[in-house]
Every structure is written in structure tokens, then in C-alpha cells.
């Protein structure tokens, strides 16, 4: 599987922070080191919530310069992934029309999906999906083209435009069967608004002489590449701000039962389908910590022995930023200490993970023997153990840097440093990382 050694830069943008990593792949080894980290978060302006995308771009440039300096022999490729659904609109000159709106903005409140939509795009209903944001977009009439966040940054690096497929499937505008922009769902959009599709591994231009490669630019698509599974009988939880819980399939599940269960069919690397349900995730903890101004670790130690109260973590009341502890206590119907609030969140997430794993098996017919938790949440030992207990299945936790590693691996394969299928890439992850195993009690 392994060919020559390659050195690549992985730009990984999350909802609370971004970073640039230097990845080295070859001789049967996979390694990634963080060279630059920077904050990311919403900016409220005139009543709307935005991303500070120009600051993100400047930080990406800083990180790429550092990666090039540390790469010794130079970079072979650059790849970018980020969160999904959000976008920038360009005018006829290619200039950004306005700062991209944050998906947690309230502008899509009250929007309902049209009948029959699930049979076309296969997506669970989320009011912040791109197609619904466009219904509330005042700049749409002035726009020449739409670029999702990773594609926007790639365009600024290279001058070339495109829409990477895995992220494009989260817009709600892709026909899940054909894998192309849906003529039916895009007929009312300005002509030319949506650029041509790219797939993971495709060239996306050059930046200062370095090739830019399309990766699984939806961060979950990259994370699933780096699940260290030994066979295909696994469920995954990409656990961070959100928990994306599901299984990997060869074709979508478009039954009415699947739609009612709020499961989504998103595109994965190598033509796979990420059949999953969104669970609110560690956003609940992050907002509590921000409100309290306290670190997590001491609270986790106390939460291990605290009494929690289970609530529905997917209630829309938890979507916007704000006083999260107060909202959780209202939902639980009691006043709680900080450790009790944290324990309530983790108990509730573990049960939501259990339900999603069970439903994914039932609806897809795919049997699961193990649950892989990847991403930052894999470091949360209490959550991992509670998830194993709830699911009644072994949990393999790690790598925490799965998104960056998946980004690195797709680039490395594109430049010829490794060869093979997703199973081959996962073998390299498994042999290069040391995940932790949790058995159900």
C-alpha cells in the first residue's frame, strides 16, 4: 500500500477553532503534528450571527507558511476541510458579497421542508441546511456564485472555483441517487450559482506552486476515513461540537421510516454513503464552560460520581448560543450543581448515541459489532464509558485527530504516497495510532 514519503498540509476548521497540521505519510507510517491553532467563533453584527471568514483566511496563510518552513523539503499538497452547510456568495467579479452567516443564526426559524424532499436529497431535516438558508438569503439576487466555506478558502488560495462533493451533499441540493446537483431542487436558483463538482482526490489548483487537493471537505467525511476499523461491521461517532452517529453504506436508505427517524444520507469518500443522525454533541458542554468560565477536567472528575437527569439533547432550544446551564436545568426540571449538569449532558448524549446506533442498524440492515468514537470527544473518558454502557457494545476511542488524519490520507493517496481502498487507509491508521478500548459494564 505504501509508496513514497509525502509531506502535506491539512487545514482543519472547526466551529470553535481552526488549525493547520503538517502530515507525513510513507514507509508504512502516518504522522500529523499541529503547527498552528487559532480561535473561531460567531460574530454578532446588526442582529445576525456571522463567521469571521477573512480572519480565518489570514490564519490559514500563517499556518501554511509555518507548515512549509517545517516541511524541510517543501509541501506536496494542501487540503482543506471544515464544518458543513455555510457558504459565501460571490459577485460577478468574484468578490465576496458579505460575511458568511453562521448556521446557528435564527434566520431559518419556522422553515419547513417541502413534501417529497427526502426522496431526492436523502437528508434529515435541519433548518440550517444550505437550501433553507438560501430561502432566507437577501443577497441571493445579487450573487453570481456560491462557494461552501472550504471551497471559498480554496478559491482565495488558488483562484479556481469548485464544489467538493462530500460537503455539497449537505446543502440539500444534490440528488442523492445521481450524485449531481438536482435540476428539480435548483431550478429557482440563479443560473451558474453552483459550481462544478469535485471529488476527494481531485486537483483544486495551486497555491504558491503547491498543489491544492480536494479532500473530504466536510470534516465528518474526513473523520470517517480515519476510523481505525478492521472490517465494515462498525458504527462511528464523530464526536465534537456535534455528534455524528451512523454507519457507512454503499447506497442511500430513502424509506419513509428512515425519514421519520431523522436519518441523513451524506456523501462520503470513494462513493460511500454516511448514513447518520446528528446529535447535538459537546456543544452543550462547551457553552456551559463558556458561561461558567471554568475548565472541563475538574468537572469531569466530579461528574463521574454525580447524579444526572436525562433530557433530550436534540431539542432545538439548545441550538443557539447563550445561557446553556439555565436551559438545561429548565429542561430537567430541577436546580443542579455544575458537576450534575455535566453528568446530565453526558448521560443524555450516551443514550442519544445508543438510540442512533440502534436505529442505524435497524433501518439500514447493517449489523454493528463495535462503535468507534473519533474526534475530540474520544478524549472524554466518562462519555466513552457511558456510551459503551448504553450501547452494550465495545467502544474504540480515537484517534482524536481523525479529521486531520483523513484529510492527510486523501491527499497522500492523491500524490502517490499511499495506494489502496478505504480499508487500506484505515489499516494504516490502525497501525499508526493507539486507540483506547472501553467495554460495556
C-alpha cell recorded at residue 193: 450559482
Same domain? For 126 and 240 the reply is no
Nearest CA to 208 among 65, 402, 330, 354? 65
Of 198, 218, 238, the residue that ends a domain is 218
Residue ranges making up the domain that contains 370: 229-398
- One digit per residue, the tens of pLDDT, for the chain of length 441 reads 445 789 999 999 998 899 999 999 988 889 999 999 999 989 999 999 999 999 999 999 999 999 999 876 789 999 999 999 999 999 999 999 999 999 999 999 988 888 899 999 999 998 999 999 999 999 999 999 999 999 999 999 999 999 999 999 999 999 999 999 999 999 999 999 999 999 999 999 999 999 999 999 999 999 999 999 999 999 999 999 999 999 999 999 999 999 999 999 999 999 999 999 999 999 999 999 999 999 999 999 999 999 999 999 999 999 999 999 999 999 999 999 999 999 999 999 999 999 999 999 999 999 999 999 999 999 999 999 999 999 999 999 999 999 999 999 999 999 999 999 999 999 999 999 999 999 999
Same domain? For 213 and 175 the reply is yes
Q: Let me know if 219 is a catalytic residue.
A: yes
C-alpha cell recorded at residue 373: 468514537
Same domain? For 213 and 245 the reply is no
In a domain, 187, yes or no: yes
Same domain? For 269 and 383 the reply is yes
C-alpha cell recorded at residue 438: 472501553
Check which CATH number belongs to the domain holding 271 and give it: 3.30.420.40
Task: Name the domain count of the chain.
Answer: 2
- Cα R_g (the chain), whole angstroms: 21
In a domain, 416, yes or no: no
Q: Which of 12, 81, 175, 219 is catalytic?
A: 219
In a domain, 330, yes or no: yes
Same domain? For 243 and 313 the reply is yes
What is the β-pairing status of strands 264-267 and 273-279?
Answer: antiparallel
Same domain? For 189 and 235 the reply is no
Amino acid at each position: 500500500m505504501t509508496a513514497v514519503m509525502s509531506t502535506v498540509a491539512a487545514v482543519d476548521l472547526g466551529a470553535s477553532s481552526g488549525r493547520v497540521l503538517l502530515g507525513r505519510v510513507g514507509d508504512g507510517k502516518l504522522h500529523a503534528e499541529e503547527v498552528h491553532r487559532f480561535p473561531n467563533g460567531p460574530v454578532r453584527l446588526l442582529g445576525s450571527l456571522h463567521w469571521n471568514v477573512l480572519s480565518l483566511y489570514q490564519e490559514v496563510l500563517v499556518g501554511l507558511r509555518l507548515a512549509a518552513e517545517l516541511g524541510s523539503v517543501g509541501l506536496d499538497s494542501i487540503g482543506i476541510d471544515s464544518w458543513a452547510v455555510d457558504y459565501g456568495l460571490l459577485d460577478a467579479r468574484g468578490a465576496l458579497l458579505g460575511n458568511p452567516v453562521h448556521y446557528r443564526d435564527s434566520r431559518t426559524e419556522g422553515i419547513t421542508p417541502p413534501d417529497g424532499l427526502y426522496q431526492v436529497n436523502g437528508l434529515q431535516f435541519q433548518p440550517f441546511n444550505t437550501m433553507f438558508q438560501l430561502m432566507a438569503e437577501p443577497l441571493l439576487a445579487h450573487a453570481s456564485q456560491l462557494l461552501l466555506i472550504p471551497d471559498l478558502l480554496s478559491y482565495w488560495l488558488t483562484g479556481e472555483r469548485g464544489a467538493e462533493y462530500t460537503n455539497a451533499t449537505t446543502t440539500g441540493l444534490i440528488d442523492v441517487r445521481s450524485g449531481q446537483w438536482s435540476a428539480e431542487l435548483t431550478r429557482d436558483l440563479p443560473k451558474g450559482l453552483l459550481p462544478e463538482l469535485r471529488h476527494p482526490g481531485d486537483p483544486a489548483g495551486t497555491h504558491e506552486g503547491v498543489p491544492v487537493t480536494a479532500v473530504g471537505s466536510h470534516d465528518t467525511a474526513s473523520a470517517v476515513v480515519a476510523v481505525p476499523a478492521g472490517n465494515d461491521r462498525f458504527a462511528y461517532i464523530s464526536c465534537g461540537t456535534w455528534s455524528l452517529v451512523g454507519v457507512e453504506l454503499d447506497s442511500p436508505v430513502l424509506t419513509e421510516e428512515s425519514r421519520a427517524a431523522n436519518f441523513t444520507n451524506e456523501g462520503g469518500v470513494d462513493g460511500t454513503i454516511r448514513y447518520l443522525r446528528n446529535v447535538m454533541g459537546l456543544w452543550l458542554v462547551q457553552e456551559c464552560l463558556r458561561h461558567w468560565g471554568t475548565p472541563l477536567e475538574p468537572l469531569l472528575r466530579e461528574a463521574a460520581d454525580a447524579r444526572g437527569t436525562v433530557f433530550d439533547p436534540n431539542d432545538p432550544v439548545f441550538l443557539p448560543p447563550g445561557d446553556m446551564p439555565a436551559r438545561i436545568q429548565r429542561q430537567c426540571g430541577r436546580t443542579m450543581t455544575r458537576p450534575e449538569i455535566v453528568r446530565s449532558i453526558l448521560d443524555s448524549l450516551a443514550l442519544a448515541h445508543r438510540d442512533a446506533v440502534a436505529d442505524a442498524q435497524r433501518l439500514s440492515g447493517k449489523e454493528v459489532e463495535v462503535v468507534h468514537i473519533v474526534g475530540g470527544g474520544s478524549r472524554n473518558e466518562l462519555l466513552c464509558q457511558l456510551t459503551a454502557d448504553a450501547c452494550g457494545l465495545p467502544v474504540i476511542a480515537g484517534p482524536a485527530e481523525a479529521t486531520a488524519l483523513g484529510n492527510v490520507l486523501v491527499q497522500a493517496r492523491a500524490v502517490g504516497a499511499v495506494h489502496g481502498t478505504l480499508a487500506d487507509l484505515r489499516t494504516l491508521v490502525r497501525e499508526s495510532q493507539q486507540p483506547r478500548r472501553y467495554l460495556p459494564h
